[in-house]
Amino acid sequence: MPYDRTWMGYGIVGALETGGIALLVGIVVYGLLHLLARGSGWSHGKELAIAYVFAVALSAGQDLWDLFYFNMAPLQSLTLLRAKLAEVHDPDAIGLRVFFEFVGALAGVCIGWAMFSGGMKNLLESVRRS
């Protein structure tokens, strides 16, 4: 999701901030998906997987696209490379930001599952029975 990143830090600080944003996005996306799919008979795994894909697409989409573009697109002139790098906030740590966005989205979806579906309670009950 393209948003203004001028307020964000650089390096590990910026990566932690984007991971926190991805965590919140994961919680919200899972909550909305759980409400929409409540009567559909979806399993927890299907809800988790779809929510994770949507959370990653929303929170890490722009950084993933920039990472892909810098690795795959033929940048034939130094001027074009400078122009593209100027558009990216902290291009030195883009891989670190993408990693933290993936991890934050996963943690957010798991927290959302525990909060909204009662999955943690069911999991603990099944562990106690076995």
Residue 6 in this model has a pLDDT that exceeds 80: no
Instruction: Calculate mean pLDDT across residues 92-112.
Output: 91
Amino acid at 57: A
Three-class secondary structure assignment of the chain: CCCCCCCCCCCHHHHHHHHHHHHHHHHHHHHHHHHHCHHHCCCHHHHHHHHHHHHHHHHHHHHHHHHHHHHHCCCCCHHHHHHHHHHCCCHHHHHHHHHHHHHHHHHHHHHHHHHHCCHHHHHHHHHHHC
CA–CA separation, 9 and 7 (whole Å): 7
pLDDT tier at 2 (50, 70, 90 boundaries)? low
How far is the C-alpha of 8 from the C-alpha of 103, rounded, in Å?
18
Residue with the bigger pLDDT between 102 and 85: it is: 102
- On whether the pTM is more than 0.75, the answer is yes
Give 107-118 pLDDT, tens digit per residue.
999 999 988 887
Select the more confidently predicted residue: 102 or 83.
102
Residue 5 in tokens: 């990143």
- Across the range 11-16, mean pLDDT stands at 88
pLDDT (average), residues 75-96: 79
**Cα separation, 16 vs 97, whole angstroms:** 8
Which range is least confidently modeled, 24-33, 41-50, 76-85?
Answer: 76-85
